[in-house]
């Protein structure tokens, strides 16, 4: 069942800053969070005092978020109650296919907020997230910037991601009386399981490493934002393939 | 007529700050401008020193934009060579219909940059743009924010508008996912033909009326915007299905 968009909630999205160094930035992040309706701020081993005068000055009327911010010793602890973590980075490495732009990330993560908590993870001002921290994230966000100066101000990067998420939520809600509601995270995961089983069975996906190609399908379908009817159509297609394959197997020698 | 996207240019978009009060903000705006490929900064009667240490510190590697910024005594002078000015404001007044969100503004202004100069105008940190200044703008941009704290940090507001503009330019140039160009129409049609043949063969699509469900696939994949590699993956999947189905048929009585 498609969740009513009212069940999608920005309250279930945590903004996690790993070792932020500047109180101005932390205050500025709070202001952006309140601008776009977010409230769960988590600081991992901050090297700046988030309650300093400068932080409050930049937070303007969002000082309450500074007071309610939770502090964690490491990223794993900060993510303990999150079902999904999206890490922001400009380091592509071998996982290029798993990178979302902020708008794609928003379409991917919002349906998951119906059932649980999702984290947006931002690294240090100077060094971003370390490899060991990226390993704790399941998906990655990169903001497309110019080669001339690719590195963004931390608070601006947070602001862009929150803006895209709030904007996407607005689009989903705006269309809720129209035709399109996104399928929920569990409905999507059910479809991806079916897809994986079917495509391994017909030997299109390598049984040893099905995830590689499957990630491309997740990206394609994540970008398009499936509704319930479309998920049913995909299930139907995989059922037809399952049937053809079972007919083939019946006739194999020894089966 | 849509102009050829290569003639559209971010160089023809001026970023105008009216009476900015904080050197940190001015520096931060320069960084955002270079992040997204903009270079024409205009300051109207600034009350802060835009070459101060703090401005350079926030500009990081975009300090050259501070040096090249042009200073004007009033907004009319700053807009003298611009064919269109878009003013950012949260004051709606009677002109509600002329308000764009940043993404709509980007789609509106980019085609105009082929022929001339366009200005994005941002007001003071505390009071925004005055009525007399808004009167010099032909269209207005408002960033949808929460009622709880509608007012954004100046540099973040600039950053959002520039991000949307650069993103829209990328989409017009056919790089909507940044890294790879979208597959051409003929490549896509080849894939849809294969899809149709395969799905009719396995009897998932009704041979009498395959178009109905096929249209849903066209909508899903059309929204996501496939690149060449993704089209090859889909061809590969259909080839695997074709193979399974041909094996099944070999064993049918009478075939």
CATH architecture of A5-174: 3-Layer(aba) Sandwich (3.40)
Closest residue on chain B to A142 (Cα): B178
Which of B103, B204, B220 shows the shortest C-beta gap to A226?
Answer: B220
Which range among A5-9, A169-173, A206-210, A243-247 shows the weakest confidence by mean pLDDT?
A5-9
Closest residue on chain B to A219 (Cα): B224
- The predicted pLDDT at position A225 comes to 77
Average pLDDT over residues B227-250: 94
Place A94 in a pLDDT band, splitting at 50, 70 and 90: low
Question: B44: closest CA among B67, B63, B26, B24?
Answer: B26
A88: left (phi over 0), alpha (psi -120 to 50) or beta: beta
B5-172: what fold? Alpha/beta knot (3.40.1280)
Domain with CATH 1.10.8.590 in chain B: 185-250
Domain with CATH 3.40.1280.10 in chain A: 5-174
Place A180 in a pLDDT band, splitting at 50, 70 and 90: low
- The predicted pLDDT at position B178 comes to 46
- The predicted pLDDT at position B246 comes to 94
Domain with CATH 3.40.1280.10 in chain B: 5-172
Q: Which residues of B touch A241 (CB under 8 A)?
A: 202, 204, 241, 244
- The predicted pLDDT at position B174 comes to 64
Q: How many CA atoms lie within 13 A of A157 on its CB side?
A: 29
When mean pLDDT is compared over A2-16, A67-81, A208-222, the highest value belongs to A67-81
Which range among A38-42, A98-102, B1-5 shows the weakest confidence by mean pLDDT?
B1-5
Q: Which residues of B touch A144 (CB under 8 A)?
A: 166-167, 170, 178
Mean pLDDT of chain A: 89
Average pLDDT over residues A137-142: 92
CB–CB of A235/A191 below 8 Å? yes
Q: Where does residue B28 rank: exposed (0-12), middle (13-18), buried (19+ CB within 10 A)?
A: buried
Beta strands in B91-243 (DSSP E): 99-100, 118-122, 139-141
How far apart (Å, rounded) are the C-alpha atoms in residues B199 and B205?
A: 5
Mean pLDDT of chain B: 88
Q: How many CA atoms lie within 13 A of A19 on its CB side?
A: 11
Closest residue on chain B to A217 (Cα): B230
Contact B226 A204 (CB under 8 A): no
Which range among A50-54, A60-64, B166-170, B249-253 shows the weakest confidence by mean pLDDT?
B249-253
Q: Mind listing the pLDDT tens digit for each residue in A184-213?
A: 878 899 999 999 999 999 999 999 999 889
Per DSSP, the three-state class of A95 is coil
Contact A160 B160 (CB under 8 A): yes
Q: Mind listing the pLDDT tens digit for each residue in B93-109?
A: 655 556 888 988 998 88
- State the smallest CA–CA distance between residue B170 and chain A in angstroms: 10
Which of B202, B213, B240 shows the shortest C-beta gap to A204?
Answer: B240
> Is residue B92 predicted with pLDDT exceeding 90?
no
- Residue owning tokens 């320069």: B30
> Is residue B34 predicted with pLDDT exceeding 80?
yes
Per DSSP, the three-state class of A30 is helix
> Is residue A233 predicted with pLDDT exceeding 50?
yes
- The predicted pLDDT at position A31 comes to 98
* Greater model confidence, B79 or B220: B79
- The predicted pLDDT at position B184 comes to 75
> Is residue A1 predicted with pLDDT exceeding 80?
no
A185-250: what fold? Helicase, Ruva Protein; domain 3 (1.10.8)
Q: What is the ipTM of this complex?
A: 0.72
């Amino acid at each position: 069942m498609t969740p009513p968009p009212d069940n999608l909630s920005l309250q279930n999205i945590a903004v996690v800053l790993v070792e932020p160094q500047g109180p101005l930035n932390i205050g500025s992040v709070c202001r952006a969070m309140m601008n776009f309706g977010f409230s769960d701020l988590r600081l991992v081993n901050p090297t700046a005092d988030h309650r300093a005068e400068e932080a409050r000055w930049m937070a303007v009327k969002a000082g309450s978020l500074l007071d309610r911010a939770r502090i964690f010793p490491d990223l794993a602890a900060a993510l303990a109650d999150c079902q999904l973590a999206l890490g922001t980075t400009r380091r592509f490495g071998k996982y290029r296919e798993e990178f979302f732009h902020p708008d794609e990330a928003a379409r991917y993560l919002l349906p998951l907020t119906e059932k649980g908590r999702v984290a947006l993870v931002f690294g240090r001002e100077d060094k971003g997230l370390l490899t060991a921290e990226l390993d704790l994230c399941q998906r990655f966000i990169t903001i497309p910037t110019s080669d001339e100066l690719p590195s963004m101000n931390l608070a601006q990067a947070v602001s862009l991601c929150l803006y895209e998420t709030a904007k996407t939520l607005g689009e989903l809600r705006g269309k809720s009386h129209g035709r399109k509601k996104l399928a929920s995270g569990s409905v999507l995961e059910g479809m991806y399981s079916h897809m994986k089983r079917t495509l391994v069975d017909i030997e299109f996906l390598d049984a040893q490493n099905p995830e590689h190609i499957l990630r491309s399908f997740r990206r394609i379908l994540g970008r398009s934002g499936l509704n319930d009817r479309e998920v049913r159509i995909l299930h139907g297609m995989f059922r037809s393939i399952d049937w053809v394959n079972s007919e083939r197997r019946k006739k194999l020698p020894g089966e």
